[in-house]
């Protein structure tokens, strides 16, 4: 009888211990999902963080299905109040830039803008404008095929926001899948034109533009020509350094990468990882074509645009 009682107690303790361990495991397991073009950088953050925190369980989820196990979301456009739930916090962890590119053999189009693209040129190429004569004058313009992502992807939202427009104003053939497919489409099409983030335009190992494409230089000061100090598009390090030194730049579209989490989470692993990303993790941004987040005061709490918090 005593043996049966002992076995019962043992099984109960084992059950409770297992339940607690599972609860702790779920609470301290960080599962990340979101905008795919940020994944190379986030993978680097995770691997570097684990070097000093080997027991940390942090993993990127590549499944497109968002489920209850995801406790950290990644979004790569400026967030509005309506995009964040009352029980959520967001942290701007990085920035990125978008540039226009064309096929290397699309010489007529490149020649058309050899003096650099002004902001109105970018609008004419990429946006539907009922008041523009661009389409009407297409017979006199170089033949181009514009490729874009779906209207509500982060890169499309960020690009449209730069011009004060909506993503559904962007014209062109819609490419499904991931942002890197935009560059692939342009590499295959001699008339192709698109915009993309630096990580999908440059070879991050050689730091030069990918084969088969030309970056369309943007006229940064709007004087109708590319000045010597505007020759920044042939090397990723030169370009990122320019953007870091000129954060008031209004010519090249840039936007933020943010982490979103439930404010009620009690995960020490999650909090420590975000804190590390905001500090030590920033030194890995440039290697992957991203910019540093210089909009943090070290706090894990940031207010949303238009919020009264």
Which are the contacts of 235, defined by CB distance < 8 A and separation ≥ 6? 207, 208
Whether 213 maps to a domain, the answer reads yes
Per the listing, tokens 């034109």 go with 193
Whether 105 maps to a domain, the answer reads yes
Phi, psi (deg, nearest 5) at residue 25 = -60, -45
Per the listing, tokens 């109960």 go with 12
Q: CA 122 → CA 90, 100, 126, 194, 295, distances in Å?
A: 31, 8, 6, 11, 27
Which are the contacts of 126, defined by CB distance < 8 A and separation ≥ 6? 100, 146, 148, 159, 170, 171, 172, 195
Tens digit of each residue's pLDDT, the chain (309 residues):
544 444 444 433 343 333 333 444 455 799 999 999 999 999 999 999 999 999 999 999 887 656 667 899 999 999 998 999 999 999 999 999 999 999 999 988 878 888 899 999 999 999 986 555 444 444 556 678 999 998 789 999 999 999 999 999 999 999 998 999 999 999 999 999 999 999 999 999 999 999 999 999 999 998 999 999 999 999 999 999 999 999 988 999 999 999 999 998 888 999 999 999 999 999 999 999 999 997 643 444 444 344 444
Check: CB of residue 124 under 8 Å from CB of residue 172: no
- What is the number of structural domains in the chain? 1
Distance CA 254, CA 285 (A): 14
Whether 11 maps to a domain, the answer reads no
Torsion sign, CA atoms 101, 106, 107, 109: negative
Whether 93 maps to a domain, the answer reads yes
The three-point CA angle 150-167-230 to 5° equals 105
| Full domain range(s) for residue 297 | 32-309
Check: CB of residue 233 under 8 Å from CB of residue 226: no
Whether 74 maps to a domain, the answer reads yes
Note the Cα 59 to chain centre separation in Å: 18
Tens of pLDDT, residues 143-187: 789 999 987 899 999 999 999 999 999 999 999 989 999 999 999
Distance CA 232, CA 252 (A): 12
Whether 81 maps to a domain, the answer reads yes
Distance CA 257, CA 74 (A): 7
Tens of pLDDT, residues 11-45: 333 433 333 334 444 557 999 999 999 999 999 99
What pLDDT does residue 63 have? Answer: 75
Specify the DSSP element, H or E, that contains 251. none
Whether 6 maps to a domain, the answer reads no
Which of 194, 192, 96 lies closest to 149 in space, CA to CA? 194
CATH number of the domain within which 66 lies: 3.40.190.290
pTM (two decimals): 0.84
Check: CB of residue 92 under 8 Å from CB of residue 256: yes
Check: CB of residue 30 under 8 Å from CB of residue 57: yes
């Amino acid at each position: 009888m005593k043996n049966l009682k002992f076995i019962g107690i043992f099984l109960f303790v084992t059950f409770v211990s297992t339940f607690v361990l599972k609860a702790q495991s779920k609470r301290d397991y960080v599962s990340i999902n979101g905008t795919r073009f940020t994944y190379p950088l986030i993978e680097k953050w995770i691997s570097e963080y684990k070097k000093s925190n080997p027991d940390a369980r942090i993993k990127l989820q590549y499944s497109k299905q968002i489920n209850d196990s995801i406790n950290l979301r990644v979004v790569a456009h400026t967030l509005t109040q309506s995009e964040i739930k009352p029980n959520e916090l967001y942290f701007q962890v990085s920035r990125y830039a978008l540039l226009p590119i064309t096929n290397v053999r699309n010489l007529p189009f490149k020649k058309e803008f050899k003096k650099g693209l002004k902001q109105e040129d970018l609008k004419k190429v990429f946006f539907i404008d009922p008041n523009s004569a661009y389409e009407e004058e297409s017979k006199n313009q170089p033949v181009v095929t514009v490729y874009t992502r779906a209207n509500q992807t982060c890169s499309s939202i960020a690009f449209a926001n730069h011009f004060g427009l909506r993503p559904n104003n962007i014209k062109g053939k819609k490419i499904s899948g991931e942002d890197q497919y935009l560059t692939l489409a342009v590499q295959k099409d001699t008339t192709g034109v698109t915009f993309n983030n630096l990580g999908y335009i440059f070879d991050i190992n050689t730091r030069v533009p990918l084969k088969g494409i030309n970056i369309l230089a943007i006229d940064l000061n709007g004087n109708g020509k590319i000045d010597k100090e505007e020759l920044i598009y042939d090397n990723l390090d030169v370009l990122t350094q320019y953007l870091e030194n000129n954060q008031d730049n209004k010519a090249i579209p840039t936007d933020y990468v943010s982490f979103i989490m439930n404010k009620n989470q009690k995960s020490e692993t999650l909090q420590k990882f975000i804190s590390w990303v905001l500090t030590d993790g920033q030194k890995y941004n440039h290697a992957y074509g991203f910019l540093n987040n210089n909009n943090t005061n070290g706090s894990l709490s940031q207010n949303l645009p238009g919020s009264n918090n």
